[in-house]
Each structure stands twice: as structure tokens, then as C-alpha cells.
Amino acid sequence: MLSEVVLLACKDLIDDAKIGCADMVFKDMCLEILAKAKLVLSNEQFEELTFFVAERMKEERIPSSGRKVRYDKKSFSLRFLFVVIFLFCAHLSQ
């Protein structure tokens, strides 16, 4: 089902944002994703995504072990754009 794909894409994007974004940016991204996902997910799926986001927000960032994590900001931006377009198209098809 299309909404299952959207739900999984949103969760993946949120996980990526948790790794690659500062805390305030991460929270802003989560709110943006939730706002768009609300338009296309069922109430049950939206509640699941909301719970998922809440759990990720509660998690503390792992302190740096001296090892830098490489994160491709351009790739993340393109994925975010893709999910937003996908959510918009899914909303139009309903």
C-alpha cells in the first residue's frame, strides 16, 4: 500500500536527520515531515509516526568518540525533497 511506503520513507528520513542534523534542525525537520505526512497517512499510521518521532526526540545524541561521521548534506536534502514531493503526490491522488 502506498501509505506504508510513505510511512517507511518518513521513518528513514527522520533517522537520517537524527544522525546528521543539529538538535533544533532535527526537531524542525520532524515537524515539517509530520505536517506533510498528516495529509496522506491514516490516523493509525500517523500516530505510529508521531510515536516514532517522539522516541527519536527523547534519544540523546551519542557523545563523539573522536570519530567524525561523514554525512552528505546534499543527499539528505534530495531525499527530503523526494519525500515531500511523494507526500504531495499521494495527497493529490486521494
String of DSSP letters for 32-73: HHHHHHTTTS-HHHHHHHHHHHHHHHHSPPPPP-SPPPP--H
As for how many domains the chain has, the answer is 1
Ranges under pLDDT 50 in the chain: 64-71
- Give the pLDDT score at 15: 86
- Give the pLDDT score at 49: 94
- On whether residue 42 sits in a domain, the answer given is yes
- Give the pLDDT score at 94: 63
**Grid coordinates standing for 33?**
515531515
- On whether residue 66 sits in a domain, the answer given is no
Owning domain of residue 89: 2-60+71-93
- Give the pLDDT score at 45: 93
- Give the pLDDT score at 69: 45
